Every structure is written in C-alpha cells, then in structure tokens.
Amino acid sequence: MARFSAVIAFLLVAQPLAAQAVWRQTDALKYVTGPLAWDATRSVAWHVGVVDGAMQTAAWDGLRWNVVASNAPPAREAHGLAYDPLRARLVLFGGRDLAHTQVYRDTWDFDGVTWTLRATGGPGARCLFPMCWHAGRNTVVIACGTSSPSTPWGTALADVWEWNGSAWSQRIGLSEGRIAPALGHDPVRDELVLCGGHAVVGWPNPMPWSFDETWTFGAASTRWSLRGTSVSAGRRSAAALTFDPLRARLQLLGGSDLGGGGPDPLSGFASPIGAIVEWSGSDWVMNGGLPSFAVALGAAFDPLRSELIAFGGDWLLERGDATWLRDVNLAWRRASDGTPHSLEAVTWDGARARFVGLEPVAWPGSGYRTYEWDGTAFAQRADANALGITRFATLAWHSQSLRCVAFGTTAGALHGNETWVWDGASWTDAQPATRPSPRRDPALAADPSRGVLVLFGGWGPGPFGGSIPLADTWEWNGSTWTQSFTAHTPSPRADAAMSFCSRRNAVVLYGGNAPSPVGEVWVYDGVDWTSAAPPATAPIFDHSLCDDVARARLVLAGRSNSSALDRETWEWDGAAWTRVALGDPRSSNVGPQALRLAYDDSGERVLAYFERALWRYETPHQATVTAYGGACASSAGTLLLAASDRPWLGDTLHGTLGPVPLAAAAAVFVGASDARWGNATLPFALDPLGAPGCTLWAEPILLLAPPLGTSHRNWSLALPMDPSLAGASAYAQGVALDPLANPFGLALSAGLALRLGVR
C-alpha cells in the first residue's frame, strides 16, 4: 500500500485539518446584546441578533423562543430595532460589523417571513443608538448614536430622524450629541423621552462620560426640552426604555455608568445598573430592580400576558441568554423555554430519533418529568406522575422492543427494582415476572448485538438501614429480567459507567464506587466478564460512557472522584485510552448532577446534557461512505461494491466486491472525480461499446486487485495519516472482466463516494 500513499496525495483535493473531535453547544438561541420589539399584530416579541456569526430572527411567544428566519441582514450589533404596527413590519437600521471596522446605514423591514432591504440612504451610518415607534406620528424614530465603529472614542451624534415606511426625513435634533442613550414614546402624553447615554469629554486625555439627563419632545414642541427631576434616573448608557400600558409609564431598565473611563458599552462595563425607574411624565419614580445588574439588554412589554420582558444583554459582565418576565406585582421569574434544567438519565430513542431524558422534580426525589429533543427543540412529554419510578432512575434504549426502559425506585424507597417502558407517548409498568433484587445506582447499557439490556451492580440493602455494593449481572429481553451467572465478575460497585462498544462488540464497564472510587475496565460479551486495558485515569465514579459508533470509539466524560469533578474527555479505541479534550461541556465546580451522554444515530454524534445545555461531540471531518449510481450484472449476478467500515485517515478501509465468476479477474479502482476522466465527462455510459446498462461512475486512476478464487472478493485500502486530506473526497467503483456478461466483456458496480475523515 505504499503506492497508494504516494498516489492519494495527488488524487485528493486537500483541505485544512481541523482539530480532533470537540464539544459544541447545541442551543436554539445564543443571542447576546440587542433590542426587543413588541409585535401587536402577531403577539410576539422580536429579537434580531447574532448566532454563530450570522443574524437570526426569533420570536418570543410567551413560552419559548422560535427561530423564524435566518436570511436576516448582514451580521451586526449595536443596531436599532422597532415595530411598525401600522404597516405590520419590523424595522431594522444601522449598527456595526462584528469586527468593529464598519458602520451601517441600511434600512430593512421584516414581514414575519422575509427581510427586505428598503433604503441605503437617509440618516448617516451609525451604531449604539436607540430606536422606537412614535404612535403620535405613526413613524419609527432614531436618535443620536455614533458614526465610529470603535466606541466609546467616537464622535457623539445629536440628529433625529423618522421613517414613514418608505422614506426617512430629518427632524429637530438635540443640542448635544450622545452615544447609547435610551429612547421611548409615551403615548399617554404623546411625547418622546430620551435619557442617559454618554459622550467623550476632556482634552488631551478624552474619557467617556455618562449623562444623568432627561429630554422630552412633545407633539407641539419646536425643540427638545431638558427636564428637571427630583429623582435621578442615574448615569447610564445602553439602557432599555419601554412603555408599560398597565402602569401608563415608561420603564427604564439596566445600563452602565461609563463615567471615569468605562469601556465600550457592548464589550464590558464600569458600573452596571440593576435599578428600574419609571417616567411619570414629570419625574422619575423608583420601581424595583432587575434580577441582576444588566447592560445592553432588550426590553418590551407583552400586553397579552401583562408581562415586562427582559432578554439577553450582559449580566454581571457575562453575556446573557436568559429571558426574564416581570408580572403586575413587579415580581421577576426566569422563563422556561421548554428546556429542562437538568437530566438525571438520558438515552437515544432509535425508532423515533429522539434524545430522551428524565428531569428530577425535586431532590432527593419525588418523580421525573420526561423530556424529548427532536433535533431542534426540547419538549416536555410527560408529567412527573406518569412514571412510577421516582428516585435513582437509569435509562436505556431496547432495540428489540423499540422502547426506552427505565429502572429505579419508588417514592420513599432507598432501594428498588421497578421497570417501566416508554413508547414515545406514555410510560407503562412492565411488571416483569423476574427482576433484580432491590438496589439503586446500578449500571445499565444496551447490547444491540444480542438484543438485550445489561444491568450490573448498584447499592443494595445493607445492615442497619445502610447500603452495600453489589456485583450481579442481569439481562432484559423486552419482557423480563434474567440473571447471568459468569465465571468472572467485576468487584462489587455502584455509580459505574457502562456502554456497548461496537469495536469490541461487547459491553464495557468503567469505574464505580465501592464505596471508594474504583479504577477498572471490564468487558462483558454475554458469556463472561474479562478485565481489559488499564483505566484512563485515577479511580472515578458517577461519570458517563458512550459508544461513538461512527468513529468506533468509547467516549468518557463527566468524571468524579470522592472530592471533585473534573473537565476531561477520554476515548477508548478498544485497546488504549487517550485524553482528547480538556474541557467537557460544563464547569468544574458544579453540584450533584453529573454529565450524561447518549449517541445520536441520525446525526452520528455523541450528545451530552448538563444544566439547560445540550452539547454535541463530533469531529469537523466525519468519514462517510455513500453509494451512488447503478450497477450492471456479471454472469454471476449484479455486481455490488461495499465498504465494511469508514475511510478514516490513518486506518485501512475494507470491503467486498461480488458476485464475480470464480475464474474472472476483478478490480476496484479509485479516483478523485466523479465528473471528469481526462477529457471524458462522467458518468460515461458503455452501452455503445457493447455493455448495456453499464456506466463508468468514477475516475479510474488507482487500481486495487483482489485475489482470485472466491465469488466475493475482499479488498482493502490503506489511508495515510495526512492532515491535509481531511474532508477530501474520493470515488471508487468495482469491475469484473467477464466475457459472459455482455459483448464488451465486463461488468461494473455502482459507485462509492468516500469522504475522508479524522477521528
């Protein structure tokens, strides 16, 4: 295969090698700063913000955020947003790019489905400015801001503009410019209210300085009026101002005092403000506070539910993704978007392609809510009273019965042996005739090769009301439990991790607690337990183990010893452990809920859940094999080219070709193209040459010649560990030289598209 190593670099189009498999968060919304706008037509609050470098448009319907459109304007921040109820359009203007090198002056509107560019002129380019709907004039208004993308050192603007749905017109501006003020319309008094903001003052050492000023502009005004107030709104920039119709007052939330040289209002803050004040029409009145200090958040009032909405922003110097709701009693609560807070047990439902998890209602346990993730969003599928297991639940998918199986204890019991099954709609008590003895915290894993679930160990009843570790093995066949008596067995333990290993075609047990942490690896093949490779690390327990089927690796994460949790991720290739990531998807100082893993068959990746966050563990370059095109028959039958594994760099790809007449020569050829072979265009039909139904699908450059003597020929292809080939594609096809097949004397298989991956 040295020949292949030399040729393949010429054949394949190189692409940069990304890092090994990594953790990535899978959140529906990860917005940061930005305004909200209430849509009275659709009864939703809109937010337009950056997710993974691109703009997304999302609507809050009172229960959850729903991503509505991803074809938003170019990615930006510090833009203006307001809803035009007269024309039923969401309007966006200006902002700056994420690199802080460019400021925009484009105007967009959104009809609930599609964004449309409406204007590129009118107000000058700006960012860090407020925008609101003026009900008295039926226009959208913007004021102030800065034309510099690298604030706070830019020039503060003082102009005011309004948008009538088709064109901008300039209105009377302020006497002094300011950056990031708050602006709102008071419909009771039909006046615009502008407060706060900052400007750069001082020379030769300029510094940003926040204003504690309130300006108003009424229906009959000819200029902006500075209002004297007995109560200060506070020096604040990047605050939110929205009207509460129930209180008939504007509400001022959050912001930051940049006095004394604070940094950019969207990059960090000198003094974040938590107090909320409301405008009575003549003075500011204290009106409670935010759940935490926040800057550059979005705020809007939901009249349908009588709630003030606060979303995103920077909360105590960290980017926020929480949605907070304030009721008529001024009490705040963090909204639930359908995502569970924590999941004690998880599995993958292979029949319905769902990530299934059990959320404990309370600790130490009074039941579990059942949640499912469909690839896009979480949804609660069953209340706590639906599942008879209320404590110490474990969960696994049984492929033969197409059911999720839960094992655990009932209310008030320290040990139990309840078995319940989930069919995607409801929980049912399995009531098996035979069951393991009562216990808690056993290891549970599926063995799909034998169609059973395997349960090992756990804490059983001990003397004086205590617990002792167990060492028995049980199997679930879909209707009952059967004990497996083996010649060898791991030592008694609980809180161990267990998973099927596709590479070893057996169940693997790792670690545990007995009651001291255990550091052993055992393999169960359905007949006996065998001690395996040395463990990855020091003795651990309450961790999670998952079979990464696509990459033929076991993944270990969420490790714990008796005193601490750590953040390492390890992999096992069936022989040795390798540390592959420093940093699993959670902090190192969290509470009792451990990380839980499950394998996503449809997405071919490991999923992890911890405290309202779903993470995926995957390689940027997945190895794939895809058949394409059609085949023609040899005299022994239709020729089939198959691969028995995946094209991972550094591995050998194996496969078969057949059926082939025993005396006929056969080969597998590989090329870099499925579109061209020299001057010829692929696919190339061989009918005119006397091979009806036969088509050349792949460029035939590299030739592999399997040995004669069998009807199905084994072939192999050694793939070099060349980082530059990660993600590249190659194409293969099989050929048999068979004079009896057709006048041309050959038969061809369909093609195989090979995408080279890195584990």
How many other CB atoms are there within 10 angstroms of residue 628's CB atom?
Answer: 14
Buried residues in 313-351 as b, exposed as e (16+ CB within 10 A):
bbbeeeebbbbbbbeeeeeeeebebebbebbbbbbbbbe
pLDDT higher than 80, residue 125: yes
Strands 391-398 and 378-382: unpaired
Mean pLDDT of 111-126: 95
pLDDT higher than 90, residue 452: yes
The three-state secondary structure class of 4 is: helix
Which among 715, 717, 709 has a CA at the least distance from the CA of 665?
Answer: 709
Each residue's pLDDT tens digit, 585-613 = 544 333 334 578 999 998 888 998 876 67
pLDDT higher than 80, residue 511: yes
401 vs 154, higher pLDDT: 401
Mean pLDDT of 295-320: 77
Which among 29, 40, 94 has a CA at the least distance from the CA of 67?
Answer: 29
Residue that has been written with the tokens 């870099």 in this structure: 672
Categorize the per-residue pLDDT at 509 as very low, low, confident or very high, splitting at 50, 70 and 90.
very high
Each residue's pLDDT tens digit, 184-201 = 999 999 999 999 998 877
534 vs 392, higher pLDDT: 392
Are 681 and 688 in contact by the 8 Å Cβ rule? The answer is: no
User: In the chain, what are the domains?
Assistant: 2-16+622-755 (no CATH), 29-334 (2.120.10.80), 345-618 (2.120.10.80)
Each residue's pLDDT tens digit, 627-639 = 999 999 999 999 9
pLDDT higher than 70, residue 428: yes
The three-state secondary structure class of 668 is: strand
- For residue 71, CA distances in Å to 75, 91, 107, 464, 606 come to 10, 15, 15, 65, 29
> What is the overall mean pLDDT for the chain?
86
Mean pLDDT of 563-589: 66
Q: What is the pLDDT of residue 316?
A: 45
Contacts of 66 (CB under 8 A, 6+ apart): 58, 59
Q: What is the pLDDT of residue 261?
A: 43
Pair of tokens at residue 120? 């590129």
Residue that has been written with the tokens 């995957």 in this structure: 618
Predicted structure pTM score: 0.61
Are 445 and 454 in contact by the 8 Å Cβ rule? The answer is: yes
Each residue's pLDDT tens digit, 216-232 = 999 999 999 999 999 98
Q: What is the pLDDT of residue 4?
A: 37
Q: How far apart are CA 431 and CA 419, in angstroms?
A: 7
pLDDT higher than 80, residue 331: yes
Contacts of 684 (CB under 8 A, 6+ apart): 677, 695, 696
Categorize the per-residue pLDDT at 471 as very low, low, confident or very high, splitting at 50, 70 and 90.
very high
Q: How far apart are CA 504 and CA 1, in angstroms?
A: 26
Which among 482, 475, 514 has a CA at the least distance from the CA of 496?
Answer: 514
Categorize the per-residue pLDDT at 23 as very low, low, confident or very high, splitting at 50, 70 and 90.
confident
Mean pLDDT of 457-473: 94
411 vs 398, higher pLDDT: 398
Q: What is the pLDDT of residue 736?
A: 94
**Which span out of 141-155, 332-346, 566-580, 686-700 was modeled with the highest average pLDDT?**
686-700
Q: What is the pLDDT of residue 600?
A: 94
Mean pLDDT of 534-556: 85
Q: What is the pLDDT of residue 119?
A: 96
Q: What is the pLDDT of residue 183?
A: 98
Mean pLDDT of 713-739: 92
